[in-house]
Structure 1
Amino acid sequence: MIGSQDNLNFPLREVLLYPATAAAYDLGRWDLLLQQARGAGLLARVAAVLRDAGLDDRIPPEMRWHLDSAFTVYRAHSEDVRLEVEHIARALKPAGVRPVLLKGAAYLAAGDRARLGRLYSDVDIFVPHDSIDTVEQLLRWQGWSGEELSDYDQAYYRRWMHEIPPLIHRSRGIAVDVHHNLLPLTSRVKLDAEALAAGITPSEFPGVDVLAPTDRVLHSAAHLLLEGEFDNAFRDLSDLYLLLTELSAADPGFWDALLARSRELGLHRILYYALRYLARLLDLAVPPDITAGLQSAAPVAPVRWVMDRLFTSALLPISVAAPGVWPGFARFALYLRSHYLKMPLPLLARHLWHKAVITPFEYRQTDPV
């Protein structure tokens, strides 16, 4: 069965959860670990976890340089993001806007363990909707610019989505995604951006904030389960595991607060799915009363059966998923589901028609070849 215990006996999972197991690996097992970690974007995290566990001296010399190189890249990424956040905060200061960092940058700025070995493709920030035009203009004045998009794609972002088109700094090359909500405005899963404001707290970086701990978990879960992109799914699942284990250990009331907040923000079912698959795939110990409290969010049995088989395949690294066509089908099915949840059916049909027919036609009309 997909997601059964037999299929979960792979070295990447073992080392992330139980680092000491690596001490008994032979070279073949180490080689498989490195292949799986690299494919899942978690090589630097494996290096960080082994160092954190005091097992650095148990790494075979043949494997050490791979992990040392990944760890060096991680440290460089972290410093680049820290400096970029300083630039963003300085650019927005004249308007009195304190951006709220999201996802990877938030883990770094909050000092969360989920920052360990985390690599970054961009910096995500969240600002009030009524400040979005000012924020975009200030960033453009300071060297960020967007790629050329069609009128349709501009409207797609600005009318229906939860963010403006990505901006990339002309000299530093780092992208910033500016959000005014955490979910698309047309999403079937509604999220009141103003409800997040009560929990926003200062970060360890000057001039920027982060979401409340419960909200960082819920946003991470929503991003993982609703975006429909699974290339980094196991990494994001590992992020969630680190967040939950750290925050619940530090605060005895965290689990109850998380459950209450999921209801308040309308993310009750998202939390249900996230904890279900964290327990199944990463052995997360969820308190029984929390599991019981989430039963009202569970889908009906046939839907739950289907979702279990789709998610337990799609969330695993592609290199360790079940052989055959099933993993690709599962990811594609969840990709379609994400679009169904993002838009009402008439709008989705219009969007798919435009992207499948109109956009290629317009491209052929402008292509000089």
Structure 2
Amino acid sequence: MCRCLSVDDSANAVAELRASLPRLDDAAGWAGLVQTADADMLAPALRLALARKGLDDAMPAQVRAQLHRRYTMNALLNERIREDALHVTALCERLGIAPVVLKGGAYLFEAPPEMLGGRSMRDLDFLLPADQVDTVVDAMLDQGYMVKDEADDDTTYTHPALQRPGGVVAVELHHRVGQQRSLLSADMAWRDIRTLQTEPRLRVLSPTHRVWHNIFHSQVQDQGHSTGLIWLRQLADLVDICRRHGESIDWAALDQMMTDAGMDGVMRARLLQAERLLGLPWPLRAPPGPAARLRLHRASLLLKAPRTMAVTRMWAALMAPFKLHRMDLLYHCGTGHPVKLAKARLRHIRQVARKYRGNLLGRLWQRRQYDV
């Protein structure tokens, strides 16, 4: 799967991929590859990647038609999601507010038309100034939007998801860049916002901050670094950002941000995954180092042990409410005080237990495919 998605389109790499693909008559092998893609919402990206590499003829006709349908349907869906994004942006502009579209929402406006269906979307995320979120929510409710889900254990960085009648995905309004309080403040992000040539005008994080947000989201917020879970869809997003905006990414500044936050090892481990698994050229001056290589080896071993991976995903879901930066966000306990952190976690355990009561195991089961 990683070889298929790799951005290394050299003749040698494509030849090696062709040799490693299942045979045309190997229905089970192709079914497994498509199933792997589906597990990470990457079937449309798989179709796009194989076509780009000129490997349509390596697929059985039935699989090629199946992936083409997935891609076409996703492209049509993304057109609808673009309309939703522009609707929210226009509504905000009428209020004199300029929202910032986060994560995959930017892809919908940066990708060329022939690649629009290559990214699967589950929701739309916007960043707003904290003191303007309620104003936008009230306006959206007046426009017929409805709260899709009840609030999670906290609303300290995002409002409960909203969706309008006829809309295809939920909209989440954030006033922080991820579940963190001080690593990348909203003020810092706002100072380096970029504007896209759309009408109405959409705004996105700077390329440097988009790389930071992607790595923080997958490796810290979704615990990829601590558990060894790779989160391939987010890794593909990281590679896409680096390919599109490589010259605009200030790697020295990003390296300093990560070092100041104690996340330089996290960044190097993730970039090594991007290099080894998806062919991204190494972007930093310093090499990855043995710790990053050890992390990659651990993640590779986990991929070969599906049962262990299932248990790891469940553990990540169980621990999600008690993550370090989330506790600091909720209780301002800091990230370097073990006693304060332990007290915050005990306090939060009581709150979660009161909220879900007898349904605590059911809530955990709902989050077993944890990949927020």
TM norm structure 2: 0.75
Q: Is the 8 A contact 1:107 1:114 kept in 2?
A: no
The separation in 2 between residues aligned to 1:361 and 1:34, in whole angstroms, is: 38
The residue aligned with 2:118 is: 117
Matches within 5 A, 1:131-150: 131-147=132-148, 149=150
Cα deviation, residue 108, structure 1: 2.0
1:16 aligns with 2:13: no
Q: Alpha carbons of 1:322 and 1:148: their partners in 2 closer, same or farther (altered >3 Å)?
A: closer
The residue aligned with 1:8 is: none
Cα deviation, residue 79, structure 1: 0.3
Cα deviation, residue 88, structure 1: 0.4
Q: Is the 8 A contact 1:310 1:330 kept in 2?
A: no
The code of the aligned residue for 1:128 comes to P
The residue aligned with 2:274 is: 278
The residue aligned with 2:313 is: 331
The code of the aligned residue for 2:204 comes to V
TM norm structure 1: 0.76
The separation in 2 between residues aligned to 1:79 and 1:124, in whole angstroms, is: 16
The residue aligned with 2:159 is: 164
Q: Alpha carbons of 1:191 and 1:253: their partners in 2 closer, same or farther (altered >3 Å)?
A: closer
Q: Is the 8 A contact 1:200 1:211 kept in 2?
A: yes
Q: Alpha carbons of 1:197 and 1:349: their partners in 2 closer, same or farther (altered >3 Å)?
A: same
Q: Percent identity?
A: 24
Q: 210, 214, 218: which one pairs with 1:220?
A: 214
Cα deviation, residue 333, structure 1: 4.4
Q: Alpha carbons of 1:283 and 1:53: their partners in 2 closer, same or farther (altered >3 Å)?
A: closer
Q: Is the 8 A contact 2:207 2:248 kept in 1?
A: no
Structure 1 gap ranges (5+): 1-11, 315-320, 364-369
Q: 188, 194, 211: which one pairs with 2:187?
A: 194
Q: 309, 323, 331: which one pairs with 1:340?
A: 323
The separation in 2 between residues aligned to 1:282 and 1:362, in whole angstroms, is: 40
Cα deviation, residue 221, structure 1: 1.1
Q: Is the 8 A contact 2:76 2:117 kept in 1?
A: no
Matches within 5 A, 1:35-50: 35-50=35-50
The separation in 2 between residues aligned to 1:286 and 1:114, in whole angstroms, is: 25
Greater CA deviation, 103-112 or 218-227?
103-112
The residue aligned with 2:348 is: 351
The separation in 2 between residues aligned to 1:129 and 1:265, in whole angstroms, is: 23
Q: Is the 8 A contact 1:89 1:99 kept in 2?
A: yes
Q: Alpha carbons of 1:14 and 1:306: their partners in 2 closer, same or farther (altered >3 Å)?
A: closer
Q: Alpha carbons of 1:148 and 1:68: their partners in 2 closer, same or farther (altered >3 Å)?
A: closer
- For residue 187 of structure 2, give the secondary structure of its aligned residue in structure 1: helix
The separation in 2 between residues aligned to 1:305 and 1:64, in whole angstroms, is: 36
The residue aligned with 1:318 is: none
The separation in 2 between residues aligned to 1:73 and 1:313, in whole angstroms, is: 35
Q: Is the 8 A contact 1:168 1:176 kept in 2?
A: yes
Q: Alpha carbons of 1:313 and 1:233: their partners in 2 closer, same or farther (altered >3 Å)?
A: farther
The separation in 2 between residues aligned to 1:247 and 1:322, in whole angstroms, is: 33
The residue aligned with 1:128 is: 129
Matches within 5 A, 1:24-39: 24=19, 25=21, 26-27=23-24, 28=26, 29-39=29-39
Q: Is the 8 A contact 1:311 1:330 kept in 2?
A: no
Cα deviation, residue 171, structure 1: 3.1
Q: Alpha carbons of 1:227 and 1:262: their partners in 2 closer, same or farther (altered >3 Å)?
A: closer
The separation in 1 between residues aligned to 2:69 and 2:54, in whole angstroms, is: 18
Cα deviation, residue 257, structure 1: 4.8
Cα deviation, residue 87, structure 1: 0.8
Cα deviation, residue 119, structure 1: 1.0
Q: Alpha carbons of 1:334 and 1:184: their partners in 2 closer, same or farther (altered >3 Å)?
A: same
Q: Is the 8 A contact 1:114 1:242 kept in 2?
A: no
Deviations 1:26-60 (A, max 9, x none): 12243432232222211100111123334435433
Cα deviation, residue 143, structure 1: 1.8
The separation in 2 between residues aligned to 1:58 and 1:362, in whole angstroms, is: 48
Cα deviation, residue 14, structure 1: 1.6
Matches within 5 A, 1:17-96: 17=6, 20-21=14-15, 23-24=18-19, 25=21, 26-27=23-24, 28=26, 29-96=29-96
Q: Alpha carbons of 1:104 and 1:313: their partners in 2 closer, same or farther (altered >3 Å)?
A: farther
Cα deviation, residue 361, structure 1: 5.3
The separation in 2 between residues aligned to 1:276 and 1:333, in whole angstroms, is: 24
The code of the aligned residue for 1:162 comes to Y
The residue aligned with 2:233 is: 235
Matched positions, count: 328
Q: 208, 211, 215: which one pairs with 2:205?
A: 211
User: Cα RMSD (Å) of the superposition?
Assistant: 3.4
The separation in 1 between residues aligned to 2:261 and 2:142, in whole angstroms, is: 35
Matches within 5 A, 1:291-310: 291=287
Cα deviation, residue 252, structure 1: 8.1
Cα deviation, residue 147, structure 1: 4.1
Q: Is the 8 A contact 1:143 1:171 kept in 2?
A: no
The separation in 1 between residues aligned to 2:87 and 2:43, in whole angstroms, is: 28
Structure 2 gap ranges (5+): 328-340, 361-372
Q: Alpha carbons of 1:260 and 1:324: their partners in 2 closer, same or farther (altered >3 Å)?
A: closer
Deviations 1:277-298 (A, max 9, x none): 3234434331462437xx7xx9
The separation in 2 between residues aligned to 1:137 and 1:115, in whole angstroms, is: 31
